[in-house]
Every structure is written in C-alpha cells, then in structure tokens.
C-alpha cells in the first residue's frame, strides 16, 4: 500500500501540498504516483518566478517507463525548486514527501482557500480505493 501522509493535502492528479507558512506551500508527487511511474530518471521543473494556477502543468517527470506532466496543486508564484533533483531524480522514488519535493509556491490568496479544492489524507485514500 502506498504511503499517504496525514497533514498534507492531495490533488486527484496525485500531487501533494504542504503548508510551510501563511502563504508558502511545498509540493511534489505522491508515493502512489512515483510507484506507478517506476524508476525516475529526469525531472523538469519551472523557473522560480513562474506564475501558476492550480492545475497548471509546471514540468514533467521522466521514468524508464514514461513521461508524465507535473501539475501545481495550488496557484501562485514558484519561489523555489528542488535543485537536488537535477543530479538525483531518484530522490522522488525514495523520498517523495521529503527529499523528493519539487516546488515551493507563494500563494496569491489565503492558504485555506487554496486548499479547498484538494483532498485530505482520508479523501485521497478513498480516491485511490
């Protein structure tokens, strides 16, 4: 069974979002998503300063099996990307919620409002079932 962490919000496209402050959110792909992709060999991420809306494509993830789009679970401005993934994309497989995070976004609005359209851990587990 894939790990679904409490305290995170989840999109139906298998991204997670974590509140990192009043207006800052860190995001990446879920354990379920990385397990479907298989061994990840390349991650393409947006440039800091890129403005995104919730659901926008913000890059791609390439595995030995396929290439998949990465979507932002929230809207705002990308303030940071995980530079470690350039040399070590396999971090996404081993640590999807920790060392394998992908982007940080400064929200346009309120964090509670940004998370309204996302699933709780329980809701995401039901979505996977």
- What is the rounded CA–CA span in Å between residue 28 and residue 98? 9
Tally of domains within the chain: 1
In a domain, 41, yes or no: yes
In a 3-state reduction of DSSP, which class is residue 100?
coil
In a domain, 2, yes or no: no
In a domain, 1, yes or no: no
pLDDT bucket at 109, cuts 50 / 70 / 90: confident
Task: Check which CATH number belongs to the domain holding 47 and give it.
Answer: 2.40.50.100
In a domain, 13, yes or no: yes
In a domain, 120, yes or no: yes
Sheet arrangement for strand 57-63: 40-44, 57-63, 67-71
Residue 59 in contact with residue 105, Cβ under 8 Å?
A: no
Stated pTM of the model: 0.94
Tens of pLDDT along 45-67? 999 999 999 999 999 999 998 99
Q: Are strands 40-44 and 67-71 parallel, antiparallel or unpaired?
A: unpaired
In a domain, 16, yes or no: yes
Query: Residue 17 is part of which domain span?
Result: 9-128
């Amino acid at each position: 069974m894939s790990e679904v962490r409490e305290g995170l919000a989840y999109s139906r496209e298998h991204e997670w979002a974590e509140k990192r402050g009043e207006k800052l959110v860190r995001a990446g792909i879920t354990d379920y998503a990385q397990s479907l992709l298989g061994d990840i060999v390349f991650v393409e991420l947006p440039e800091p300063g890129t403005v995104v809306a919730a659901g926008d494509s913000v890059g791609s993830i390439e595995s030995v099996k396929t290439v998949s789009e990465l979507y932002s679970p929230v809207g705002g401005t990308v303030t940071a990307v995980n530079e470690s993934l350039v040399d070590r994309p396999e971090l996404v497989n081993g640590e999807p919620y920790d060392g394998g995070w992908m982007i940080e976004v400064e929200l346009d609005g309120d964090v509670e409002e940004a998370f309204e359209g996302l699933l709780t851990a329980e809701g995401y587990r039901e979505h996977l079932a």
